[in-house]
Every structure is written in C-alpha cells, then in structure tokens.
Amino acid sequence: MAWNEHLTTCEQPRRCPHHDDVVLPAWWWARMRSFAPLDANPEKAVEIAMLRINKFKGGKHVSAEGAAFARDAARDALPAAQQPVSLEWVKQTLACVAGLATWVHNEGEPLTREHVLNANTRLRYLEGPEGATTLSKYSRRNYRLRFDKLAVALLGSQREVIKGRKPMGQPDVLMPLTRTQEADLWVWSQGLRPITTRQRVQALIATGLGTGTRRRDFHRIRAWDVTRDADGVHLSLAESTSTGSAIVPARVVTCSAQWEDRLWAIVESTPPSHYLAAPWKDTEPNRADQDAVLRAVLLNEAALPPVHFSSESLRNTWFLRHLEAGTPISLLKTQGGLLTASALDKLLPFAAPLDAQDAAARMRCTTTATTATTATTTVPGGQAED
C-alpha cells in the first residue's frame, strides 16, 4: 500500500529512483530478492514442485510433445536446483524448456535431450532468424543462463555452457588440424552463405593457418595491414597485450606459402581501411564483434564445419607446420608473438616422426635433410605438397 501510494505521486513511476525512501516489509524484500521457496522443508518443497510439474500442460504456443519434454527435464533437474526449490525455478524452467522443445519439434528435429539441449540448438533458438524472435534482450540472457545450467545438470557436460560457440572440450579447442582437415575446412568455407559469413570465416581460416594470428589480433587487422612483395605476403601486427598483461611487441609475420594466395585474394576484395573480420565496415570492432565469426559459423545450419576449429586450433596448426618444417625456434617465437618458447612444448607430440636417415641428416646439420613427410599430401586449394 505504501509503495502504490508513492507511485501515484512519483514523477517517474515507471523508473522510480526512490526505493530506499519507502519502507517496505522485510518479507516483501526477501521474496523479491531471493524468490521464496515453496516450503521451508526441502523435501516438502520438492513434493510441491513435483505436483506443479506434473500438472504442467503449457499454453497455446506449447505443443503436447514440448510440454511432455519439459516435464521430464524439470523432474530430472530438480536435484540440481537451489534447495529448497522455489516456485520461480519451477515456472521459469518449464516455460524455457517447453518453448525450446516445441520449436525443435515444429522444426522436425529429433526431440532428444542430447539434441534439444545441445549448445548449437540452443543458440539457433535464441539467436537464429527462425527461433524465439519475440524474446527481449534480457529474456534471451535469462534463457541462456538457465539453458546452460540445465545442460550441465542433464547432460553432465561442462562444455555445454560455453557461450556462442559449438560445444568443444579443452582438447578439441587446442588440437592442431591435420593436412586433410585443413583441406576439408577450406572447401567447406567456400560454400558458406551469405557472402558476409563466407568472407569473415575465410579470413579467420587464412590468417590463422597462414600467419598464426591470435583471436584478439584478428579483429584488429585492416586490409592495408597486409602487403605483398617478391618475398611473399606479409601481415603487420600492432603491439598487443598477451595473457597476464604482458606486452607483445609489434611484428611483421610472413604468411606460409600455401596460404598466401588465399589471404591475398581476401585482402584484394576488401577496401583498404576495412577490417578482415568485417569487410563491410571500417569502424573499430566492439565487444559484440568479438564472437561474430564463430557465431556466424554456428548459425549456418545448412553446412556445419567438418571439424571442430577455433582461433586457438588454427594458431597451433600454424606453429606445428613450422616445427615440422624446421623453422628456428627463435624466429618462430618472434613471429608468433610468444614471450617464451615453452608454449610450443605441448605441440611436439603432434609433429610427424622422422625416419632414421632423415633424423641422422638433421643431427649432422647437413643441408640434405628432407621434410618430415615424404608422401604426397593434398593441401587446401587442390595443390599437392611433397
């Protein structure tokens, strides 16, 4: 009553700044801030929650299949809810899951937990053009957080909570690509639509596999930062901050021969002052642009990538190719923007082994050492490398 009386005279009733001036009962604040539990006894609260869940039928926008899926998911996720469970948790969980499951069912996709709660499915539902387009920005954020927790509770996988990315475990994120995977990834990128998605994804792949560019550096590269001369294609990177706030000096990185033509073709199709991560604009990328490349990949339902990849895995692949080619560690450290060479230790097990003759020639420091792989290997673009 006190609050309503105040709002009748407040000059800003919809955004009242006088909350602290109105004395409200303690129970009211407790309920609004912590969402009062269904019962003080945790076991009794679970019983009440089960009754509410079993009665859930959804609404006119929820199919019978979606409601049934939501009931099963909410029942199994109850132990993971904050105890004693609150009415808010029950209502919001049922509403979120029922909406997602109904959308999946209407799309003709399998109504299994592994598919419905998959990070890719959830992302398409929240961000895709055919998903939950009526949700506000704040509702999307709340749905995303609740889906993340449900995925962990029901699928038992921490990697499901990664935002805006295809779900990957730590080994998948860092794993270097094989030659075949490099070729498959480039061929796949050529079929991406629309053209904006293809441009930014191909730029990420070409700079990652050709110059080992960090993710934070990739979003700052303009077309005029890439030059070409008789010695190849070169990328100029400005000074940046590494992990632990250490400063990585500015450097010029020469692109690998097998990727220089692809990188240069991307540069030629981009206005000089525009960014490779967003060829259609010349303004400084903001925080929302940081995940734009991988988000574009995830939202492309028609052609998911043939292999897990990230800026880290592309960069590690670039390091591995140079280790196999015998690039001096001191040069690789400088070109890669490394403060120490210890980061390369984890990549050594992936290097192709040398035969006895080649190993002996290298240890004698002769110039007759051959490459680690003598068989012909297909590389992106249909070329072959001996």
Q: How far is CA 178 from CA 191, 308, 320, 346, 374, in A?
A: 21, 12, 10, 16, 15
Q: What's the confidence (pLDDT) of residue 30?
A: 53
pLDDT computed for residue 296 by the predictor: 58
The pLDDT score that the predictor gives to residue 365 is: 81
| Distance of alpha carbon 135 from alpha carbon 148, whole angstroms | 17
| Residue 378 parent element (H or E) | strand 377-378
Three-state SS at 273:
coil
Whole-structure pTM value: 0.52
Can you list the residues of the chain whose pLDDT is less than 50?
A: 33-34, 157-173, 299-302, 368-386
- What stretches of 183-341 adopt beta strand conformation (E)? 226-229, 232-237, 240-241, 247-248, 251-254
Q: Which pLDDT value is given to residue 244?
A: 57
What was the pLDDT predicted at 167?
A: 41
